[in-house]
Amino acid sequence: MGEMNGGTMIGGTMTGGQITRREGWELRLSAEIRDWEGRAFVWGSADCLGFCRATARAMTGRDPIPDLPDYVSEMQAAKGLVRLGFTSIAELIDAHLPRVPVARARRGDWVMGDAAGALPGAMGVVTGRHAVHLAERGPVRRPVLDAEAAWRIG
């Protein structure tokens, strides 16, 4: 697996070790978030990390975590992380994206909120003062400053 700090291309156009946002990313981000409205949470096909990855692809044209194995349950997702050498979603994302202080997260960045289960970390996408998280019944909005961690997308 490539490393962010080395400037290796992991999933997006790299400039100094970061993926970059394409021109018009704002409209593509808004459209992608709208496309997820009404979708219920389903492990491996419509889950919080899948939502975040889809928004990153919309903004950058690339998946920042292309090596994630397929899974259909929380347990399979946890086992997939272990096979990749990670103990948490945060570790996985840290290997691919630069972490930033939550207070400096900007529109399109990813945040990790509070979540129960084997994989703590309901991931969300910053839309301003709030972040959109994919919950059991579909997207919900939570204050960004309630997040525990944040990562820069471009």
- What pLDDT, on a 0 to 100 scale, did the predictor assign at position 138? 83
User: Which of these, 60, 40, 36, 38, lies nearest to 108 by C-alpha position?
Assistant: 60
Q: Would you say the C-alpha torsion 75, 77, 81, 87 has a positive or negative sign? A: negative
What does residue 64 show for φ and ψ, rounded to 5 degrees?
A: -70, -15
- What pLDDT, on a 0 to 100 scale, did the predictor assign at position 115? 59
- What pLDDT, on a 0 to 100 scale, did the predictor assign at position 40? 84
Cβ atoms of 66 and 11 closer than 8 Å: yes
Across the range 49-77, mean pLDDT stands at 94
Would you say residue 11 has pLDDT above 60? no
User: Which of these, 84, 23, 62, lies nearest to 54 by C-alpha position?
Assistant: 62
Q: Residue 18 — very low, low, confident or very high, per pLDDT cuts 50/70/90?
A: low
Instruction: For residues 80 and 90, give the distance between their C-alpha atoms in angstroms, rounded to a whole number.
Output: 14
Instruction: For residues 7 and 16, give the distance between their C-alpha atoms in angstroms, rounded to a whole number.
Output: 6
Instruction: For residues 141 and 16, give the distance between their C-alpha atoms in angstroms, rounded to a whole number.
Output: 32
Q: What is the pTM of this model?
A: 0.85
More reliable by pLDDT, 113 or 107: 107
- What pLDDT, on a 0 to 100 scale, did the predictor assign at position 128? 97
135 - beta bridge partners? 138
Taking residue 137's Cβ as centre, other Cβ atoms within 10 Å add up to: 10
Taking residue 32's Cβ as centre, other Cβ atoms within 10 Å add up to: 18
User: Which of these, 132, 144, 152, lies nearest to 103 by C-alpha position?
Assistant: 144
CATH of domain 14-151: 3.90.1720.10
